[in-house]
Amino acid sequence: MRLDNLTTDSRKIIASMGQYKLLEYIKDESVSPGNAMYEYYMEKMNVHRRQVIVQMDGNMPVILQAGAMQWMAGNIDVRTNVQGVGDLIGKAFSAKVTKESAIKPMYQGQGLLALEPTYKYIIFEDVSQWPGGMVLEDGMFLAADASLQQRTVARQNLSSAALGGEGLFNLCLNGNGTAVLESNVPREELIVAHLNNETLKLDGPLAVCWSGSLQFTVERTTKTLIGSAASGEGLVNVYRGTGTVWYAPVTNTSSLYSATH
């Protein structure tokens, strides 16, 4: 099958890894008098739609977040990626505690697979580079090679995590393959902390992903509640050990995308 006009002067491939390509809509040609001014200022502020295109050659199936597919062309089959009742129950529990979809469909075959466009930033990452796997904050997962293992990891101290208003569980990807992440912050702005038997403390949900080899807890800033109150700080997210943490320099801005996603 041949597809013409997939890339044009107004939409171009700006990044790729493995079978994934990132198509960015440099300029939105589909404007009307009612939204022309809105689109004009979005373009000036570098707010663009981005779309993941998967070039499937029949060798590596792809797992998607439920509802992420927009169109597919070629000989591509879709499966639920559920193996029996026990697997379904396990996936349902994992979805409940990690806020991810219970069933992530698996696409296999040859052809092109296009995901829904988004105004968020897309990050391609080689999961094999992460010791102990790559743990994701809720909402980061968009797609991944089916060769990657998915598991649920818990915070080390669940009681303090609950007090800190954080989720208790996270999705962890492990193995050899590529993950496609959907981020509120571009990769260029993310701070990368490489810990070597060290400690990183973050005041708030700034981390977007971290190595599974790290011990992750939620703790008071001082040893006593009175000391925490006096210091003006409360609970912080703490990462200990050897591994990597990606975190944003500003707080989560997910609410900014609610009107444009």
Tell me what pLDDT residue 115 has: 98
Q: Please tell me the predicted confidence (pLDDT) of residue 141.
A: 96
Domain 11-257 of CATH type 3.60.160.10: yes
Say what the pLDDT of residue 97 is.
46
pLDDT for res 99: 52
Query: Residue 237 in contact with residue 201, Cβ under 8 Å?
Result: yes
What pLDDT does residue 258 have?
A: 44
pLDDT attached to residue 64: 96
What is the model's pLDDT at position 163? 54
Q: Which pLDDT value is given to residue 100?
A: 55
- Ordered per-residue pLDDT tens for the chain, 261 residues: 788 999 999 999 999 999 999 999 988 778 888 888 888 888 888 889 999 999 999 999 999 999 999 999 999 999 986 554 344 444 444 444 445 555 789 999 999 999 999 999 999 999 999 989 999 998 899 999 999 999 988 776 655 455 545 567 889 999 999 999 999 999 999 999 999 999 999 988 899 999 999 998 888 776 554 444 444 457 888 999 999 999 998 765 554 444 444
